A = this chain, B = another copy of it.
Amino acid sequence: MASKKIGQATRKFTNPPIIIGTGTVVGPMEGRGPLAGDFDVVLPDLTCGEKTAEKGERKFLEQAAQIAIERSGISKDIVDYYIAGDLLNQIISASFSARQLAIPFLGVYGACSTCAMGTALGGMIIDGGFADYVLVACSSHYQTAERQFRYPIELNVQHKPTSQYTVTGAGSLVLASSGNGARVTWATTGKVIDLGIKDPCNLGAAMAPAAADTLLRHVADTGQDPDTYDLILTGDLGRVGSELFRELAKDAGLDVGNNHNDCGLMIFDCKTQRVGAGGSGCACPAVVTFGHVLREMERGKLNKILLIATGALLSPLSSQQGETIPGIGHAIVIEW
């Protein structure tokens, strides 16, 4: 027992789960961004030939999961668990994709932190001896998120400079108890942190304190210097949240200026693409990490990274009822 528990919230895998396959699908806008070459599929439009954006989201989530299974070289039938989530009410993208996949299903909700939470959970299930293969996936969609959380896109409401642009896409990976690939070695589970931000158009600011809290607890639990990591990757704080994250870390005595980047800033060219303060959505950290970062590891450019995926745990109703916006940051360490 003692060897796995490191502090209250960090866990060290004794038999680290291995990422044996990934699948990433993105929308046309993400396909014009700087990381386009690292995604498996760039969709020509936002509906995937379906009648509604929601059905389209479901379809490309299933596609990402299928690609991850194919790349793993295993049969779908031997996958023990499918852990998935998305931003839509009652996580319908995930649930309906689970109907199609017919794998025992565990639905999770962590907003944009879902990819890290699912990977950490899958890792614990594998390392605990309960599974040999776990499929993890999540998705988001600009149109489905806009109309659910903000305004129907037909209104063409102007975005604030602090607003982030929801990434259209899905990311998936297969974790295995043995095989070849990058390994997930540590996980630090987030606490819900709320410093009182009320503006649902400034989610980066709402999530930054949770990301910093998780970083500080990870460093305190493990004794790892932030410089140990080739990359400390937050996602998706965007421009505003990233600055706040670095300031909060600095205030606590940690300088992450050299090796920090944010998925929301990486996926788009924020100067030429009109994306406000950057990208967001479950798919943002998922496709950047499972697509781009893992390929950078294969290319020998990164060896050890800390992903802190962050979620804003609001609903339109909680905001309408005057609540502030709680945030959470789930961290995993991936090593090549």
Known: A90-B313, A129-B1. A109 touches B107 (CB 8 A): yes
| Interface stretch (choices A161-169, A224-232, A259-267, A316-324) | A316-324
Residues of B close to A52: CB separation below 8 A: 321
168-195 of chain A: CB within 8 A of chain B: 177, 189-194
A91 adjacent to chain B (CB < 8 Å): yes
A38 adjacent to chain B (CB < 8 Å): no
Instruction: Mark each residue of chain A from 115 to 128: 1 if its CB lies under 8 Å from any CB of chain B, else 0.
Output: 00100010011011
**Would A129 and B128 count as touching, CB distance under 8 A?**
yes
Smallest CB separation, A297 vs chain B (Å): 25
A111 to B90, CA, bound (A): 8
**Would A131 and B5 count as touching, CB distance under 8 A?**
yes
How many copies make up the complex?
Answer: 2
A143 to B330, CA, bound (A): 32
**Would B318 and A54 count as touching, CB distance under 8 A?**
yes
User: Which residue of the partner chain B has the closest CB to A97?
Assistant: B192
A42 adjacent to chain B (CB < 8 Å): no
Residues of B close to A130: CB separation below 8 A: 4-5, 11, 124, 127-128
Smallest CB separation, A112 vs chain B (Å): 12
A85 to B85, CA, bound (A): 13
17-70 of chain A: CB within 8 A of chain B: 51-52, 54-55
A80 to B55, CA, bound (A): 38
A89 adjacent to chain B (CB < 8 Å): yes
A136 adjacent to chain B (CB < 8 Å): no
**Would B192 and A99 count as touching, CB distance under 8 A?**
yes
A315 adjacent to chain B (CB < 8 Å): yes
Q: A189's contact among B85, B106, B328, by CB below 8 Å, is which? A: B106
A74 adjacent to chain B (CB < 8 Å): no
A270 adjacent to chain B (CB < 8 Å): no
**Would A109 and B90 count as touching, CB distance under 8 A?**
yes
Known: A95-B313, A109-B91, A124-B130. A191 touches B321 (CB 8 A): no
Known: A104-B9, A130-B128, A192-B95. A317 touches B80 (CB 8 A): no
**Would B192 and A55 count as touching, CB distance under 8 A?**
no
Known: A95-B326, A96-B326, A318-B92. A128 touches B128 (CB 8 A): yes
Residues of B close to A194: CB separation below 8 A: 99
A-B contact pairs, 8 of them (CB 8 A): A1-B129, A1-B177, A4-B130, A8-B104, A89-B317, A90-B315, A92-B317, A92-B323
